Amino acid sequence: EAGVAQSPRYKIIEKRQSVAFWCNPISGHATLYWYQQILGQGPKLLIQFQNNGVVDDSQLPKDRFSAERLKGVDSTLKIQPAKLEDSAVYLCASSLITGTQYFGPGTRLLVL
Amino acid sequence: TQLLEQSPQFLSIQEGENLTVYCNSSSVFSSLQWYRQEPGEGPVLLVTVVTGGEVKKLKRLTFQFGDARKDSSLHITAAQPGDTGLYLCAGSNSGYALNFGKGTSLLVTP
């Protein structure tokens, strides 16, 4: 069974530029999560989707971050404009409606 | 956000030693998970504990959930270099996303 796929794996941009990350969850998984993991810290939830609806986006900085899951399958996370403090690993995870979350390898973002 | 405190933050030991990692919270969780994360990869689930006082074993790893479901520990017996990684505990309450601790970075040298 294929795992959670993410791309790109690495991205370097300058501050004030925009960037987008893509996630394809495990087939059949209704729930998709985006986490931000800053160096030295545990992952922090940014947004949780169930199918194509948002369950929780309370910690998403909505002035610069946006995410969508239009067809209830894959998802994109966008940052516009990026700040230095956005440098982090962005992890996507998926699960059945509830239950075990399976994580992708992450996208490492460096903002210069 | 319910906070999870992990200790120690860093641990460097030699192969064959035993170690214990702690995860504490002031909040009750319906379940608690332990993950291991290797450099360049996402976290991988090791175990889920749901019942207060529950003990689970995974080869040389022993996980315990506190009676009040606020804390947990991970004990590794006879650590091996392959155990090196970042150990994360995460609590959740039915259907909601995980609240992670900051993790314990473990280095096991031969």
- Residue-wise pLDDT for B17-74, tens only, equals 999 999 999 888 888 999 999 988 999 999 999 989 999 999 999 999 999 989 999 9
Name the residue of chain A whose CA is nearest to B39's CA: A105
Question: Under an 8 A CB cutoff, do B98 and A97 touch?
Answer: no
Q: Which residues of B12-32 are buried (b: 16+ CB within 10 A; e: fewer)?
A: ebeeeeebebebbbeeebebb
| CA B23 – CA B9 distance, rounded (Å) | 11
What is the mean predicted confidence (pLDDT) over A82-86? 97
Position B95 confidence tier, pLDDT thresholds 50, 70, 90: low
Residue B2 pLDDT greater than 70, yes or no? no
Q: Could you say which of B43, B96, B103 has the minimum Cβ distance to residue A103?
A: B43
pLDDT at A1: 65
A4, A89, A101, A108, best to mutate vs chain B, most B CBs in 10 Å: A101
In a 10 Å sphere around its CB, with 0-12 CB exposed, 13-18 middle and 19+ buried, how is residue A56 labelled?
middle
Residue B101 pLDDT greater than 70, yes or no? yes
pLDDT at A98: 76
| CA A40 – CA A87 distance, rounded (Å) | 12
Question: Under an 8 A CB cutoff, do A42 and B94 touch?
Answer: no
Measured between CA atoms, how close is B43 to chain A, in angstroms? 6
pLDDT in tens, A7-49: 999 999 999 999 999 999 999 999 999 999 999 899 999 999 9
> Chain A window 40-99: which residues touch B at a Cβ cutoff of 8 Å?
40-45, 48, 56, 59, 91, 93, 97-98
Question: Under an 8 A CB cutoff, do B42 and A100 touch?
Answer: no
Percent of chain A exceeding pLDDT 70 equals: 99
